[in-house]
Amino acid sequence: MKLTAIALKNAKPKDKIYRLFDGGGLYLEITPAGGTYWRYKYRFNGKEKRMAFGVYPDISLQDAREKRRLAKKTLDEGFDPSEQKKLEKIERKANYENNFENIAREWHKQKLHTWNPTHADNIMKRFEVNIFPYIGQRPIKEIKPAELLQAVKILETKGNRDLAHRVMQQCAQIFRYAIATSRAENDITLSLKGALQPAATEHMAYLTEAELPAFLQKLERYEDFGGSILTKLAFKLLVLTFLRSSEIRGKFDKKTKAIFPARWSEIDFEKAQWRVPAERMKMKEQHIVPLARQAIEILRQIQEITGGHYDNYILPSQHNPRQVMSENTFLRVIDVLGYKGNATAHGFRSTASTILNERGYRADVIERQLAHCERNQIRAAYNHAEYLPERTAMMQDWADYIDFARQGGKVIQGKFAIK
């Protein structure tokens, strides 16, 4: 006889455990302590087995019968419902552990050594504010493209189109990391290409080869515009070395309040090399700059001017020798010479890269000298002087080219052959 709601309500504890059967293997077990537990008895591979369905009245009679139906269906399909239940529990646990937020934090930790601390903090804050509240707790393999798009679109509607694209790109890296670690099967960002409005990309303004000679000629007369010779020499050194502004002057870390100035101890005049320490480089590894004879001459001139200043800074501030030359100094050069909006200090790296590529220099050599991108970690670990002979020759050719361009000399195609 099947159980009824009244029979269950009237079931009271006795001196011993007893059972009320509903049929089909389902029964309620009542203990002397008053516990009421749903059980399911079945046979699998000839063995009698039992599984728990929960506590009455939390699990109603109707709920218990539905659980029995599903367990019977599993049996009919040839599987042990108890084992299936264990597997489902394991999968639920794995899904929680492999949610988007956990994997994103794991990916972030893996990448920390390639970023500076401020950049790393910014990336995590973007996710904590813009992504985790929406899909952070979702198993990464279950996230649908529309879910991710909805979260990123919020940034876009606020007018942060560039940030929306950066966040989407970083999400793509996380999905690829999850695939590589066997916790996802698809990079769903691939199906979202074109779903965001175009980013308002701003490139660093730079001079073309045709525009460069006039600028160099004006720079040579910088004192006539009211500028200092030290500033002129610093800018000429920037053009010759391909270094970023903070790498050639020095860097102030806003987070730690520490100064990482360019010092004379980094210059090896005998080897004609500048070894820029890792803390001042964007990619956080020491960078070797071969110095052309023109660069050496400029450094000698700077040394005569600044050699006695505080702590041997190469380019100290002219207002406070305990500080490095300001970034605004280079911006002022461009402004004074009439190139505001048409050139930037950083843009001279692009000018050099464009001209060198057109002159037939190998892209790997150029990129290495620009310290432009993250290199293979294993290769970089034992050889930070990659392509040094080729780079040395290229830097001297570049300096010769700058001389002739400034003087109005004609440079023809083919690695700076000069007429």
Task: Please provide the DSSP assignment of 350-364 as one string.
Answer: HHHHHHHHHTT--HH
Contacts of 82 (CB under 8 A, 6+ apart): 44, 49, 51
Among candidate residues 16, 113, 382, 419, the one labeled active-site is: 382
Within 161-284, where are the H helices?
161-180, 212-220, 229-241, 245-249
Q: Regarding the domain delimited by 212-418, which CATH topology (the fold level of the hierarchy) does it fall under? A: hpI Integrase; Chain A (1.10.443)
pLDDT at 114: 76
pLDDT at 308: 57
For the chain, give every domain's residue range.
5-97, 100-192, 212-418
Q: How many residues would you count in the chain? A: 419
Is 349 annotated as catalytic?
yes
- At the fourth CATH level, which superfamily is domain 5-97? Integrase, DNA-binding domain (3.30.160.390)
pLDDT at 380: 45
Q: Do domains 100-192 and 212-418 have the same CATH topology?
A: no
Among candidate residues 65, 67, 349, 391, the one labeled active-site is: 349
Is 372 annotated as catalytic?
yes
pLDDT at 203: 57
Among candidate residues 282, 309, 332, 384, the one labeled active-site is: 282
pLDDT at 170: 93
pLDDT, one tens digit for every residue, the chain (419 residues)? 789 989 998 899 999 999 999 999 999 999 999 999 999 999 998 899 999 999 999 999 999 999 999 999 989 988 998 888 877 776 676 666 789 999 999 999 998 887 778 778 889 999 999 999 999 999 998 999 999 999 999 988 888 888 899 899 999 999 999 999 988 899 999 999 999 988 654 557 888 888 999 999 999 999 999 999 999 999 999 999 999 998 999 877 666 777 788 999 999 999 999 999 988 887 778 899 999 999 999 999 999 988 755 568 899 888 877 788 888 999 999 999 999 989 999 999 989 988 998 888 888 888 889 886 544 443 444 445 678 999 999 999 999 999 999 987 655 455 665 54
CA 139/CA 87 separation, integer angstroms: 16
Among candidate residues 41, 166, 275, 346, the one labeled active-site is: 346
Among candidate residues 39, 153, 166, 372, the one labeled active-site is: 372
Q: Which CATH class is domain 100-192?
A: mainly alpha
Is 244 annotated as catalytic?
yes
Put simply, whether the predicted model's pTM sits higher than 0.85 gets the answer no
**Distances, alpha carbon 125 to alpha carbons 147, 152, 175, 199, 209, in Å:** 20, 14, 18, 21, 41
Contacts of 88 (CB under 8 A, 6+ apart): none
CA 318/CA 324 separation, integer angstroms: 9
Is 9 annotated as catalytic?
no
Among candidate residues 236, 244, 287, 406, the one labeled active-site is: 244
Burial-class residue 299 by CB neighbours within 10 Å (0-12, 13-18, 19+). Answer: buried
Is 165 annotated as catalytic?
no
Long-range contacts of 82-85, Cβ-Cβ distance < 8 Å, separation of 24 or more: 82/44, 82/49, 82/51, 85/51
